[in-house]
Amino acid sequence: MTYDEPAPRHRASREETSEITAKVDAEAKLRRRVAVAARPRPTSKQRIGSYATLAFLIVVFLALVYFVLLVVMDSTGQQWSRCTVYSAVAKPGGRGGPYVELTTSCGPLALDKGVTRGQTEEEVARRFTPGRDYEFKLGRTARHPGWWIGDSTVHDWRKV
């Protein structure tokens, strides 16, 4: 054999290959165990903090879904409902501007339709006669009491 010729390669048998693979796997498992054991375990305060953060994020997410659902429900599925008006009180602000707060047999309602600079909330409130029936166009949240916190929005109204 001369120096110009490459040395013949030794081919490992299947048994040798499987032994080498097993040794490498065992070393890798040992390294992983040592790395896991060396990692500090979280304290109970850290775990409680993690759970509290997760619970807070879940509550915020559910609240966001709830309010988006309410807005969608209030804007869809509007129907006319017949209600008896007990009182109509003009409110100068809040809810994005002046409105009329109605106490009705359908529950508390808020009317801002028609309340403009031309017609003040007092003028609109005077159009309602206590004890008389009116029809109000209400969204789903107004027709299902308990869904909404506060007054339900009236989309339209008319005398009966």
Domain chopping of the chain, boundaries = 14-75, 77-159
Contact 139, 78 (CB under 8 A): yes
C-alpha Rg value of the chain to the nearest Å: 36
**Residue 134 neighbours by CB under 8 Å, 6+ apart:** 82, 83, 84, 85, 104, 128, 157, 158, 159, 160
Instruction: Specify the CATH number of the domain 77-159.
Output: 2.40.50
Tens digit of each residue's pLDDT, the chain (160 residues): 566 666 666 666 777 778 888 888 888 888 877 776 666 777 877 788 889 999 999 999 999 998 888 777 777 778 888 999 999 888 876 656 778 888 898 888 888 777 766 667 778 888 888 999 999 988 776 666 555 555 677 888 888 8
Structure tokens given for 19: 């032994």
